[in-house]
């Protein structure tokens, strides 16, 4: 199945060729299988080469790939017993934000995550993962519930940004995100945040304050979308300006690790999570379990102090005494 990513064309072609060979159109069995093995090796090398040289903008495209696993896919793949909780207690059930109890191995957790949807129908329901104020309110309501019973919280971040609309402003988009930032910084239970796809600005940060913050290898996390940035800097977002904006913003996992904003880059299967969602699921599960174990033994005071110091240290400036 072609990925549709421009920089994957060569990979697509070779995959197609390999598929044909594997279906056994060839002559002698022995030579065919040798040929197939050689081809597989070549394909893996090609993928490694392409993915080792992604531009920032390519990363943004990978992070948005329609087959890339989303919150609900991870719930299916690695969590058990998901009990969805819908109520924000004020306005309505925001389908761009999913919350509920779940089990991860022997841990019970509160799962909070953006959901973008794969099909057009799902995407329209979820507004492509752009949550309204009620989504952020629901998230906080459930996180408070988790803290009350000392249940660790896992936030899966995957949004182009909080929804920019009339209703969203009327119902306090900025207010709800502001409240989440303040409250998440002092919730008395471990919080693990992972950017699994798009980390779009305040909409991402609104569920992004935690004791561990990590990114999947081909996710991005940015103060503004490359499109928005390109529109401001070069008046229009084009195929030429978007890559320039993506580059300038330093939004890849590697960039954020270098800027000391994230704790870890979670590696993806060869050629991205969209090639092997199950493989991605099991890698993510290992990381989450490791973090849950690390945080389990901390006292609340230690936990909150470390969380404070973590964000307190962020930023780069000069202090010159004249």
Partner 1 sequence: MASVGKMKRGVPEGLWIRCPQCKATIFRKEAESRFNVCPECQHHFYLPARERIRQLLDADSFEEWFKDLRPSDPLGFKDRIIYGERLKAEQAKTGMPDAAVVGRGYIRGRPVVFGVTDFAFMAGSMGSVVGEKLTRAVEEATRLTLPLIFVSGSGGGARMQEGILSLMQMAKVSAALARYDQAGGLYISVLTNPTMGGVAASFALQGDLTLAEPGALVGFAGKRTIWNTVRLELPEGFQTSEFLLKHGFVDRIVARKDLRTEVARIVDFCER
- Smallest gap from residue 216 Cβ to partner 1 (A): 16
315 dihedral zone (left: phi>0; alpha: psi -120 to 50; beta): left
Shorter beta-carbon distance to partner 1: residue 239 or 319: 319
Tell me whether residue 41 is exposed, middle or buried, using C-beta atoms within 10 angstroms of its C-beta: 0 to 12, 13 to 18, 19 or more: exposed
Alpha-carbon distance of 151 to 134, in angstroms, equals 22
Stretch that binds partner 1, among 47-55, 71-79, 99-107, 255-263 (CB under 8 A): 255-263
Q: How far is CA 281 from the centre of its chain?
A: 12
- Smallest gap from residue 232 Cβ to partner 1 (A): 7
- Smallest gap from residue 267 Cβ to partner 1 (A): 20
> Tokens 């330093």, residue?
250
Restricted to residues 285-314, the positions that interact with partner 1 (CB under 8 A) are 307-308, 311-312, 314
Stretch that binds partner 1, among 72-80, 104-112, 113-121, 223-231 (CB under 8 A): 223-231
Restricted to residues 259-278, the positions that interact with partner 1 (CB under 8 A) are 259, 261
According to DSSP, residue 252 is labeled: B
Among 113, 152, 228, 243, interactor with partner 1 by CB under 8 A:
228
CB atoms within 10 A of CB 165: 13
Angle among Cα 201, 266, 253 to the nearest 5 degrees reads: 40
Nearest to 64 by CA among 183, 218, 280: 218
Binding pattern to partner 1, positions 149-178, x when CB under 8 A?
A: -------------xxxxx-xxxxxxxx-xx
Residues in the chain: 322
- Smallest gap from residue 212 Cβ to partner 1 (A): 14
**Beta carbons within 8 Å of 33's beta carbon, 6+ residues apart:** none
Stretch that binds partner 1, among 1-9, 107-115, 141-149, 205-213 (CB under 8 A): 205-213
Q: Rule CB under 8 A: which residues touch partner 1?
A: 162-166, 168-175, 177-179, 181-183, 185-186, 201-202, 205-206, 208-209, 221-224, 228-229, 232-234, 248-251, 255-256, 259, 261, 307-308, 311-312, 314-322
């Amino acid at each position: 199945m072609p990925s549709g990513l421009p920089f994957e064309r060569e990979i697509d072609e070779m995959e197609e060729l390999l598929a044909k060979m594997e279906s056994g159109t060839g002559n002698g069995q022995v030579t065919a299988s040798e040929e197939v093995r050689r081809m597989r090796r070549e394909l893996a090398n090609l993928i490694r080469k392409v993915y080792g040289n992604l531009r920032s903008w390519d990363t943004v495209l990978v992070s948005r790939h329609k087959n890339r696993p989303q919150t609900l896919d991870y719930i299916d793949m690695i969590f058990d017993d998901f009990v969805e909780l819908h109520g924000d207690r004020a306005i309505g059930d925001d389908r761009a934000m999913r919350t509920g109890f779940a089990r991860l191995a022997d841990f019970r957790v509160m799962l909070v995550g953006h959901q973008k949807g794969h099909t057009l129908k799902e995407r329209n329901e979820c507004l492509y993962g752009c949550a309204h104020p009620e989504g952020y309110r629901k998230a906080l309501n459930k996180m408070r519930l988790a803290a009350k019973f000392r249940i660790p919280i896992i936030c899966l971040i995957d949004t182009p940004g909080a929804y920019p609309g009339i209703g969203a402003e009327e119902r306090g988009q900025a207010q709800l995100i502001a409240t989440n930032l303040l409250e998440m910084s002092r919730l008395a239970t471990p919080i693990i945040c992972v950017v699994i796809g798009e980390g779009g600005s305040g909409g991402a940060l609104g569920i992004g304050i935690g004791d561990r913050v990590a990114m999947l290898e081909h996710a991005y996390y940015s103060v503004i979308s490359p499109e928005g940035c390109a529109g401001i800097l070069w008046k229009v977002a084009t195929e030429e300006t978007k890559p320039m904006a993506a580059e300038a913003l330093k939004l890849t996992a590697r960039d954020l690790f270098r800027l000391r904003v994230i704790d870890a880059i979670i590696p993806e299967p060869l050629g991205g999570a969209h090639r092997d969602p199950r493989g991605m699921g099991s890698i993510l599960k290992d990381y989450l379990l490791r973090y849950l174990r690390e945080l389990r033994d901390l006292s609340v005071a230690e936990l909150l102090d470390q969380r404070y110091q973590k964000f307190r240290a962020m930023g780069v400036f000069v202090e010159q005494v004249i």
